[in-house]
Structure 1
Amino acid sequence: MNKKNIILVMVFTLAQVFFISGNAQEEESRLERLKSQKVAFLTERIGLSTEDAQKFWPVYNEMSEKMDELWKEKKENIKKLYHSDESLSEAGKEAAIDEYINYELKKANLEKEYHEKFKKILTIDQVIKLYGAEHEFKKKMLHMIKGGKSSSCTDCDNDNEPDKMPSKT
């Protein structure tokens, strides 16, 4: 290869590195904004006082981290079961599908564990509002992803009824 081609390859490679790095930073920034929106949304919907928030958010964040770890396990298992290039033996298929069911049990147990912790921090009405607000936040984010007009959760239709989706016009 002559010098010109080598320089072109190097420039192209560097451009890709900066592009990928920029996209990763942008994605991280987007994720942080989404988390901030969720905190604000849940805090407002639950009606957390400053004192309650100081107790609640560390526990909620701990639960979220554990749920994320479980989700990663589930994704790996699904990849192994459905998207593997190598075919699994019958025993491998059985182990993978059993692991899928175990994931669901682990998730349910984790939810139960943190439900009990939330009841010690929040009133029962606030716990009920928490679950409704989480559901509402997810629906609003899905609506936004599917092409809703708003750019943030706080811009969404505030109908306070988690089971009603904003109508598309």
Structure 2
Amino acid sequence: MRNFIFSIILLWSLTAFSQVAIAQEKVLTLSEAEALLEKAQQKYSKAKDAYRKSLKTGEETTTLKALRSASREVGRYRLEIFKVHKRDFLRERAELSDEEAAEFFPYYEELQNKLFRIHDDAQREIKRLLRSKEPVSDAEYQAAVAKKIEAVQEEAQVQKEYYERFLKILPARKIVLIFDAEARFSQEMMRTKPGKQGNRQNLLQSLKNDKK
């Protein structure tokens, strides 16, 4: 049961940090993100031990708060590592120069964050209805469908605005290469089992091999 609780806390932390852009003074390199993740995992391990001990004394409220804070930090740097891998692959696949990458990726990250928020708002309402212990009226289901339709339309409008902005930064050919790279990256992530260190290390290599 305790392992289940810890798994839920980690999952919650990853979800929380995928919902917002992480404000940083600079983009982390892979080695920097991995070093910070290692420190965060050590902090989480200590917080988990403290929480286990507090269950015996009935003082788990304070330690649970610390555990959640530590798990959010782990989630933050796991997300950063994922973003570094994705940026590296998109950059290589689209053959972006240093100048192009520096100008393109801030807007690309903005787009991804906006699309997630739009999707998440609609999806949260659907989950609320499906988890409701009270009877849900047809009108509420209709409203959820309408909200989903609005989200799809809003996503299309936001994508249009950003794709037009991308065309002012990159040649159209490179944007098409980025579209293809996104699809290939997503496919590989679906095949990669989370939590396997070897899989994470070989992710980019398998994508590079696919490119050949």
TM-score band by shorter chain is: 0.7 to 0.9
Q: Which residue of 2 aligns with 1:167?
A: none
Structure 1 length-normalised TM: 0.79
- CA gap of 1:65–1:53, structure 2 versus 1, over 3 A, is same
Tell me if structure 2 keeps the 8 A contact 1:42–1:133: yes
Q: Which residue of 2 aligns with 1:46?
A: 94
Q: Which residue of 2 aligns with 1:112?
A: 160
Secondary structure (helix, strand or coil) at the match of 1:156 reads: helix
Count of paired positions: 156
- CA gap of 1:7–1:133, structure 2 versus 1, over 3 A, is closer
The one-letter code sitting in structure 2 at the alignment partner of 1:55 is E
State the 1:147 CA deviation: 8.6
Larger Rg over CA atoms: 1
Secondary structure (helix, strand or coil) at the match of 2:199 reads: coil
Q: CA RMSD in A?
A: 2.5
Q: Unaligned stretches of 5+ in structure 1?
A: 162-169
Tell me if structure 2 keeps the 8 A contact 1:46–1:126: yes
State the 1:16 CA deviation: 3.6
Q: Which residue of 1 aligns with 2:118?
A: 70
Residue correspondence of structure 1 range 128-147 to structure 2 within 5 A: 128-145=176-193
Runs of 4+ in 1 over 4 A off after TM superposition: 12-15, 146-149
Q: Which residue of 2 aligns with 1:159?
A: 210
Q: Unaligned stretches of 5+ in structure 2?
A: 1-53
Q: Which residue of 2 aligns with 1:20?
A: 68
The one-letter code sitting in structure 2 at the alignment partner of 1:151 is R
Tell me if structure 2 keeps the 8 A contact 1:150–1:156: no
Structure 2 length-normalised TM: 0.65
Secondary structure (helix, strand or coil) at the match of 1:60 reads: helix
Secondary structure (helix, strand or coil) at the match of 1:69 reads: helix
State the 1:14 CA deviation: 4.8
Distance across 2 between alignment mates of 1:37 and 1:18: 29
- CA gap of 1:97–1:6, structure 2 versus 1, over 3 A, is closer
Indicate the structure with greater helix content: 2
